[in-house]
Every structure is written in C-alpha cells, then in structure tokens.
Structure 1
Amino acid sequence: MHDKEIEGKMEKLPEDLRREVLDYVDFLLSKYQGRENSRGKFKFDWEGGLSEIREEFTSVELQHKALEWR
C-alpha cells in the first residue's frame, strides 16, 4: 500500500536511523502479533474449572444456580 512511500523515506535516512526504524517495526510486529491470531477464536482456558464439584452438582443444577445469581 505505502511501500514506495516508506522505501523513499527510508532511503533519505542515514544508516543508523534506518536501523532504528527497523527496530521499531520489529517492536510493533511483536507487540501486535498475537492480536490477529486470537481474534474470533474462543479459548477454553476455563475448562475444568469446576471439576472439584463434579460429584456434588450436575450441569443442570449449576445452570439453575447461575440463573439465581443473576
């Protein structure tokens, strides 16, 4: 999209500033890398969170209890 514009501006910079720009680009890539990959995907990191009460309640009983708490 802006490749030629970026390339033209990079050519005008001295070598030490070009390295700084590249470092900043690497920083941005690492900072925002996980955002695109995680969008739209549901995580099941909560799975098994209530396993210790499995023998005490059924899933239906837990659903009713959750409705009471709302």
Structure 2
Amino acid sequence: MREAKKLEDIIKELPEDLIKEVEDFALFLLEKRKREETEKKKPTLSWAGGLSEFKDKYTSVELQHKALEWMVNKAKV
C-alpha cells in the first residue's frame, strides 16, 4: 500500500486555477461550519406563549407538570 499524500503536497501539484478552486472550497467549508455552529447555539424560542391559554387555569409549576404529562401521553399514541 502506498503512503497517502498530504493535502499540501497534492495542492502543490495542481495548476494555479485549480489551487484557487481548492482555496475557495476550503473557505466555503469554513464558513459553512461557522454558520452551523452559530445556528446550533441560537435558541429559537418558538415555544414562547404556546401554553398561554392555560395561564388562568394552572400555576406555572402546575403548567410545567401538565406540559410534561401531555408530552408523555402524546409519545404513547
């Protein structure tokens, strides 16, 4: 089995126009990774206000327990 070439060695063998393509692609991958990491960290808060119709019927603690109960029951279905 022959030894694998390092990326730098492979790039050195490429013509100038392909080296530019490799550079552009590497920068694209870096930016994509940064975007994905940023998106993972941002909470969406899409649930905010989702149970507001029950605010007069339950206390916040009771509502937490009810929400958990509803989630468990829905998972069983």
TM-score normalised to structure 2 length: 0.57
Distance 1:50 1:26, change over 3 A: same
Number of the residue aligned with 1:50? 49
User: RMSD of the TM alignment (CA)?
Assistant: 3.2
**What does the per-residue CA deviation read over 1:17-67, in whole Å, with 9 as the maximum and x for residues that have no partner?**
10011111011111112344566x5x5432881288285242112123124
Change (3 A) 1:66 1:51: closer
Structure 1 counterpart of 2:48, one-letter code: G
Q: Which runs of 5+ in 2 are unaligned?
A: 73-77
Aligned to 1:65: 66
Aligned residues: 65
Q: Give the aligned residue type for 1:34.
A: R
Secondary structure of the corresponding residue to residue 62 of structure 1:
helix
Within 1, Cα distance between the matches of 2:67 and 2:50? 16
- Runs of 4+ in structure 1 deviating by more than 6 angstroms, as ranges, are none
Identical columns (%):
45
1:33 maps onto 2:58 in alignment: no
Q: Unmatched 5+ residue regions in structure 1?
A: none
